[in-house]
Amino acid sequence: MAGDPEDGMLSWDESVFRDEHVFEIDYVPETFRHRESQLESLKYALRPAARGSRPLNTVVRGPPGTGKTTSVQKLFSELRAQTDVRTVRVNCQVDSTRYAVFSRIFEGIFDYEPPSSGISFKKLFGQIADRLVEDDEVLAVALDDVNYLFYENEASDALYSLLRAHEAHAGAKVGVICVSSDLSLSVIEELDSRVQSVFRPEEVFFPKYDVDEVVDILRERAKRGFHDGVLGATELDRVAELTAESGDLRVGIDLLRRAGLNAEMRASRTISVEDVEEAYEKSKYVHLSRSLRGLSESETALVEVLAEHDGEQAGSVYEAFHERTDLGYTRYSEIVNKLDQLGLVETEYAEVEGRGRSRSISLAYDPEPVLERIEG
């Protein structure tokens, strides 16, 4: 490096970050680019709520990391600021039963959690609906990652209760936005006919960002999050390439943060391509980490068993799982199906001589990063 070698070095109280929060997954940017038509469609569905009527029900679909949650959060924030509409976003990866969904709605309306035991669903539901009627308020509920409700066979019951609220409690006005990242799931077709008859949603699709859009979004995020001169054009292009490869904008945002931390580890004022490449080794597993965080104890146990018995016959995998959890084959099969839907495992049927069709199961990732993230 030309000149004083200390020129490019950070002192103890310096950082490459102007605002590190900009790189967190739940950050809602002030300027939200390349989703104008989707935002307009969602506004159209929510506009009746601002006039005191029930909003239109909506299904929002698209691959992970395409701006679905951010769009809903942005519009919910605007609704709360400008109207009396109640908005509640439920993370169905965490709250994946009907009771858990309504507990989160209760908390959103009353500003405290319901008792953890001793209150029936009917009473919980009744208190929510009564408050809405009493205050003459409209409720807009976003079921984010609604696919998790389907994996647990809870979607139809949860939606039925929300959509029929006005029948059980005259004057209750509730609209639902279902957000799904599972493109193989047909939200409407998978619902019971009793729900399909009243749901009839608007549909809004979020496609993957193209490379130019990724560069634009990441440049804006870097401008807000880093000090001037920290991220050069070459480094930004490399981040964008890796993000486009993964198809998930969240990988790119996490990659920027980790690359910044790598630069700080070197006490450098600028991010290098090497910082980016090194960061990608962890950032590329953003989807894996997120999926693993939402698993139950028995689901995590099966992932561990698969990691430890990688490439072995399905029979020996089940035996090891049963030994560890004492659960039977029916529950094992249900968990395999859920992990398959989440993209954590790959399953295929093959003819086995003397045994007919047999299902083989393997992890969709190398065992090492999976076990690292479970143990970490």
Mean of the per-residue pLDDT values for the chain? Answer: 92
Gap between the Cα atoms of 151 and 323, Å rounded = 24
* 4 pLDDT above the threshold of 70: no
Domain with CATH 1.10.10.10 in the chain: 293-375
Q: Is 68 annotated as a binding residue?
A: yes
DSSP conformation class of 76: H
Give the range among 204-208, 289-293, 314-318, 352-356 with minimum mean pLDDT: 352-356
Q: Is 284 annotated as a binding residue?
A: no
Q: Is 266 annotated as a binding residue?
A: no
How many residues can be counted in the chain? 376
Assign 40 a pLDDT band (cuts: 50, 70, 90).
very high
> So what CATH class is 8-24+209-284?
mainly alpha
| Cβ–Cβ under 8 Å, residues 249 and 215 | no
pLDDT tens digits, one per residue of 229-278: 999 999 999 999 999 988 899 999 999 999 999 999 999 999 999 999 99
Query: Of all residues in the chain, what percent carry a pLDDT higher than 90?
Result: 81
Q: Is 97 annotated as a binding residue?
A: no
* 5 pLDDT above the threshold of 80: no
Q: What pLDDT score does 358 carry?
A: 66
CATH tag for 293-375 (out of 3.40.50.970, 3.40.630.10, 3.40.980.10, 1.10.10.10): 1.10.10.10
DSSP conformation class of 175: E
Q: What pLDDT score does 1 carry?
A: 39
Assign 32 a pLDDT band (cuts: 50, 70, 90).
confident
Residue 150 CB contacts under 8 Å (≥ 6 apart), including other chains: 182, 185, 187, 190
Q: Specify the CATH architecture of the domain 36-205.
A: 3-Layer(aba) Sandwich (3.40)
Q: Is 338 annotated as a binding residue?
A: no
pLDDT tens digits, one per residue of 70-98: 999 999 999 999 999 999 999 999 999 99
Q: Is 83 annotated as a binding residue?
A: no
Structure tokens at 59: 């299904």
Find residue 53's DSSP bridge partners: none
Structure tokens at 223: 């401008």
Gap between the Cα atoms of 192 and 306, Å rounded = 33
CA distances from 202 to 79, 192, 211 (A): 19, 18, 28
pLDDT tens digits, one per residue of 209-220: 998 999 999 999
Q: Is 44 annotated as a binding residue?
A: no
| Cβ–Cβ under 8 Å, residues 49 and 85 | yes
